[in-house]
Structure 1
C-alpha cells in the first residue's frame, strides 16, 4: 500500500476518535479542541494524499474510490455530531448525506461497468467548504464566526447540489448503459 492510500486509511481510522471526543465528556472542556485537532489533521490528510499521489504518479483505483469515501465518512460524521449541539439542523445534514449516497451508488454502478469516477473539482470545492464549515462550527467562537459559519453552511449546501448535478451530467452514460 502506497503512502497516499495509507493517509486515506489513516483518515478513516481517525473518524471514531473524532466522534468520541465530539460526543462524550471524556476530555472535559478540552473535548471540542481535541476533536477539532483530530478533524483538522484528518482534513489535511485529504489534501496531502492527493498531492502526493499526483506528484509521484501513485494514483490508484483504490485511492480514487476510497479517498472520496473517507472524506464522506469524516465530514458526514462531523455534521451528524453538530446536530445535537444545535449547530446544524437535521434536514441540512440529510440533504448532504443523500447526495453522498447518490454519488456513492453512482460510483458503484460505474465500477460494475469498469469505469472509475474520480472526484470532480465541484466535489472537491464541496468537500473543502464543508470542512471549513465544520471547523468554524466546532470552534464555536461566536460573533462574526457565527456569520462565517452560516455563510459556509449555505455555500456547502449549494456546492453539494451543484456537484451532484455536475457528476450526473458528466457521467449520465453510466446510468444509461450496461445493466440499468
Structure 2
C-alpha cells in the first residue's frame, strides 16, 4: 500500500477520535472541543497531502480515487452532524449536504460496477475545501457579529457548492446510467 493510500486510511481512523472529543468533555471548559479541532485540522491536511503525493509521485490508484473522496465525506459528515448539536449548523443544511454525498456515492458504485472509476471533479474538491474551512471556523467559534456573518456566508457557500458539484457531477457522468450492465 502506497503512502497516499495510508494517509487516506489514517484520515478515516481519525474520525472516531474527532467525534469522541466533540461529544465527550475532557478536563474543564472547552478543551475537548479544541482537541477535536486539532484532530479535524490534521485529518483535513492529510486530504491535501495524499493527493499532492499521489500526483507528484504518480501513485494514483483506483483505491485512492474511490477511498479518498469517501474518507472526505465521512470526516465532513461526522463533523457537521456533531455541529448540529451545538446549534451552529442547521440540520436541514446537513441533510442536503449528506444527501448529495449519498447520491454521488451511489453513482460511483454504479460506475464501479460497470468498470468505470470516477475521480473527484474540481467542483467537488472546491466543495470539500469550503466545507472543511467552514467546519474549522465553526469549531474555533470566535463569537461576535463579524465571525457570525462569516460563518453564515461559509455555510451557504458550502451549500451552494454542494448543489453545483452535484449537478456538474451528474451532467459529466450521465453515461454511467446508460451503460449499466
Pair in the same fold by TM > 0.5: yes
- Is the 1:21–1:27 Cα contact (8 Å) retained in structure 2? no
Q: Does 1:127 align with 2:128?
A: yes
SS of residue paired to 1:141: coil
1:142 aligned counterpart, secondary structure: coil
State the distance in 2 between where 1:84 and 1:14 align. Answer: 20
CA contact (8 A) 1:8 1:49 kept: yes
Distance 1:100 1:148 in 2: 24
Deviation (angstroms), 1:66: 0.2
Consecutive unaligned residues in structure 1, runs of 5 or more: none
- 1:1-180 → structure 2 map (5 Å cutoff): 1-29=1-29, 30-143=31-144, 144-179=146-181
Aligned length: 179
- Give the deviation of 1:145 after TM superposition: 1.6
Cα distance in 2 between the residues matched to 1:89 and 1:140: 15
Moved over 2 A (4+): 26-29
Give the Cα separation in 1 of the matches to 2:39 and 2:110: 33
Aligned residue for 2:21, secondary structure, equals helix
Unpaired segments of 5 or more residues in structure 2? Answer: none
CA–CA separation in structure 1 for the residues paired with 2:137 and 2:147 = 7
Per-residue CA deviations over 1:87-120 (Å, capped at 9, x if unaligned) read 0111110000000000000000000000000000
Distance 1:173 1:27, change over 3 A: farther
